[in-house]
Amino acid sequence: KPVKRIQEEEAEGISSMLSLNNKQLSQMLKSSAPAQEEEEDPLAYYENHTSQIEIVRQDRSMEQIVFPVPGICQFLTEETKHRLFTTTEQDEQGSKVSDFFDQSSFLHNEMEWQRKLRSMPLIYWFSRRMTLWGSISFNLAVFINIIIAFFYPYMEGASTGVLGSPLISLLFWILICFSIAALFTKRYSVRPLIVALILRSIYYLGIGPTLNILGALNLTNKIVFVVSFVGNRGTFIRGYKAMVMDMEFLYHVGYILTSVLGLFVHELFYSILLFDLIYREETLFNVIKSVTRNGRSILLTALLALILVYLFSIVGFLFLKDDFILEVDRLPGNHSGASPLGMPHGAATLMGTCSGDKLNCVSGVSVPEVPEGNGELESTERACDTLLMCIVTVMNHGLRNGGGVGDILRKPSKDESLFPARVVYDLLFFFIVIIIVLNLIFGVIIDTFADLRSEKQKKEEILKTTCFICGLERDKFDNKTVSFEEHIKFEHNMWNYLYFIVLVRVKNKTDYTGPESYVAQMIKNKNLDWFPRMRAMSLVCNEGEGEQNEIRILQDKLNSTMKLVSHLTAQLNELKEQMTEQRKRRQRLGFVDVQNCMSR
């Protein structure tokens, strides 16, 4: 109890000092009437409105600072905190201070915008439910595309015949009961109820009006989502350049335009809205990123494949033109083969001029006669009479077949003179283009996806085991007086450092304290040396205590050794005195003996 009383007295003293610059705290400390006893406790107010950080001075000594948190800091949203915590990049020293400091101005502006947003209750209400509007838009897009997939092209009256059966009515009531049960369990939300209402809407109104209603709802909901997005980010106050550079904002605008096209132009535009799943799921986004991240490598490899296809096309055009005969399936009624490209080798098409009675025709090229009953000429055509057509054939059929271009060429006989050349041609295309080049492209994509996955796992591990400010790892705090959780919550809380930067920017320069003046000058010079990197006062104190303990132990050992030496010295002196006495006694005895002999 005495210790607790002393701590309360110290806290009251600190609160009194802080109350000199805080009118609200001063009034709370002066309040003594019984009617004011229900107000907030001054000590609790002090705890809730102050924070502490550690800074590094110019002489590399560390100092702990306790400061009042500016009122504007309470407007920092949880979404922004989560985004900043998970997306801030590390520097070479393993700390995220550099990127964190660069975003401090943006975070301060967002605090100002959020404070202004509180004065607009309607927009604030919408902005607080941005996640809900996003989920509604995605679910509506899915329902719309399911209707299109099942009933398009739809005819009026067809839906009544399909959905008017007793089975559909039974399904409707089952969904109603299931949705009521889901409201109590809160597991499947209201999706079954929405499906039931959509079925009844199709039955009573028809497919077309139902799609129009769902499309209008989706468009309206997406507009509300964009309003919420702007309300959270403050996009408009950052200027038009920032709006154009904000890809996320442009994505939502494109979503609205696609919804407008689906509502007023054609229903099939709604299928594009399903790509919103990539935006919502990070795994799918990494799949797309695995292609775009190393896009230059993939494009260069694809260019190499195109060059090889061009070279193989030239060889085929010069030496293997007669082998490029493809089987085709002609449309009914189109057996004439009007294109010269589809004629057998050595034949051409007659393109003449005929008179009106079609009796006198002038022809310059002969037309081959196709024997009756011979269907092989009608089901095949030449595909390499021109170099361009040869390139298209090799690219189209060669890259899509597992064995290369040899799978679609004519099967030659072993007795032909070009049979060895044909074997070499097919094998080279298979090994160079199919096995090497295409697998190079697939390998780049797969390796990039694996790198993205490992980077994600490493980032999650760093977030769990590394301090955001100083970069120290969790194992540095093992067997210490301060745990890692206490360190990141009290000593190096990243938000406390942000609050202190905001305090320095909003506070009057004439009211600066010594540490605040020092940090303000460092911020002005964009010098980040005041951040503790790979250091913490708790670890320094522990190391100092360890050194003092070692010195104390050595001192005790030295004292014990000195006592032992003193004891041995005393015993030695005693032994020396005894030997001296014995020597004197022997001398006396010898003198007496001499006298006795002389007397005799």
pLDDT at 392 over 90: yes
| DSSP states of 425-472 | HHHHIIIIIIIIIHHHHHHHHHHHHHHHHHHHHHHHHHHHHB-TTT--
Highest mean pLDDT pick, 327-336, 342-351, 420-429? 420-429
Residues 276 and 299 in one domain: no
In a domain, 187, yes or no: yes
Contact indicator for 67, 500 with CB cutoff of 8 Å: yes
Contact indicator for 354, 377 with CB cutoff of 8 Å: no
Closest to 391 in 3D by CA, of 305, 302, 323, 309: 309
In a domain, 80, yes or no: no
Residues 416 and 293 in one domain: yes
Residues 159 and 222 in one domain: yes
Residues 248 and 138 in one domain: yes
- The tokens for 472 are 């120290």
Q: How far is CA 567 from CA 52, 488, 562, 563, 576, in A?
A: 55, 54, 9, 6, 14
Give me the chain's average pLDDT, please: 78
Q: What size, in residues, is the chain?
A: 600
Q: pLDDT tens digits for 156-194? A: 554 444 555 555 555 655 666 655 655 555 555 566 667
In a domain, 220, yes or no: yes
The dihedral built from the CA positions of residue 14, 15, 18 and 21, taken in this order, carries a sign that is negative
Residues 424 and 324 in one domain: yes
In a domain, 161, yes or no: yes
Residues 139 and 194 in one domain: yes
Residues 135 and 211 in one domain: yes
Highest mean pLDDT pick, 230-234, 366-370, 545-549, 590-594? 230-234
Burial 343-361 (b: 16+ CB within 10 A, else e): beeebebeeeeeeeeeeee
Contact indicator for 394, 426 with CB cutoff of 8 Å: no
- Which of 421, 446, 465 terminates a domain? The answer is 465
Residues 224 and 290 in one domain: no
- Which of 465, 489, 511 terminates a domain? The answer is 465
- Which of 222, 249, 280 terminates a domain? The answer is 280
Residues 553 and 408 in one domain: no
In a domain, 31, yes or no: no
In a domain, 303, yes or no: yes
pLDDT of residue 345: 43
Give Dmax over CA atoms of the chain in angstroms.
Answer: 192
Residues 229 and 320 in one domain: no
Which structural domain, as residue segments, surrounds residue 144? 119-280
In a domain, 102, yes or no: no
Residues 244 and 185 in one domain: yes
pLDDT confidence band for 3 (50 / 70 / 90): very low
- Domains of the chain: total: 3
Closest to 195 in 3D by CA, of 184, 182, 186: 182
Please give the residue that has the higher pLDDT: either 354 or 439.
439
Residues 254 and 304 in one domain: no
In a domain, 354, yes or no: no
